[in-house]
Amino acid sequence: MSANESGRGVPGGSSSEPTTVLPETAAQLVELERLQQALVDSDERAKNHWEQYLRAVAELDNVRKRAQRDIEAANRYGLEKFAAELLPVRDSLELAVQNAERADVRSLREGQEATLQLLSKALDKLGVTVIDPLGEPFDPSRHEAMMAQDSTTAEPNSVLKVVQPGYELNGRLLRPARVIVARAPGRA
């Protein structure tokens, strides 16, 4: 039986053994060896790249988890700092309540002023600033107009009176300043 009759070596034949093509010349043999080595090198590079990819994915996951822990710690620390800054204010108020029956009006006022000063210092340390825009142009992004009032002394659309100051935390608006806005007399 010949190779053609058994189906071996014939495309589409029923052989279960793979067909091996042997090179016909030495040049083809050298080329085959070069291609086989290139395949081995490519497989090794692919394996190295896969390992690098897995390490990079693991490192990225670690960075993400570390960043999340850092954010949580910063939030906790921020609240601790806030609470620590307000404790002297609480102490001062507590002392005022304890001594209220024995105190005269002048000493109560002095105590309130001292407590307010403690609170102002605490807010300053935390980055809270007061928005007191008296005389400034009205800014709807930082001010809340309670009403408009005729004025011959103030520029139209400027803050005539501050009803309640506003506050910012590190440049971010916490509460707008509530203001009365000046308008030209006779305008409705």
CB atoms within 10 A of CB 8: 15
Nearest to 159 by CA among 139, 141, 181, 174: 181
Beta pairing partners, 180: 147, 161
Nearest to 56 by CA among 64, 108, 104, 134: 64
Is the pLDDT score of 16 beyond 80?
no
Q: How confident is residue 175, by pLDDT bands cut at 50, 70 and 90?
A: very high
64-105: pLDDT as tens digits: 999 999 998 888 787 888 888 889 999 988 988 888 888 888
- The CATH H-level superfamily of 24-126 is GrpE nucleotide exchange factor, coiled-coil domain (3.90.20.20)
Q: Mean pLDDT over residues 176-180, rounded?
A: 97
**What percent of the chain is modeled with pLDDT above 70?**
87
Q: Mean pLDDT over residues 15-44, rounded?
A: 82
The pLDDT, as a whole number, for residue 7 is: 45
Computed over every residue of the chain, the mean pLDDT equals 87
Q: Right CATH number for 128-188 from 1.10.3470.10, 1.10.3720.10, 2.30.22.10, 2.60.120.330?
A: 2.30.22.10
Q: Write down the domain spans for the chain.
A: 24-126, 128-188
Burial class (CB in 10 A: 0-12, 13-18, 19+), 106: exposed
Three-class secondary structure assignment of 107-128: HHHHHHHHHHHHHHHHHHHCCE
CA distance 64 to 55: 14
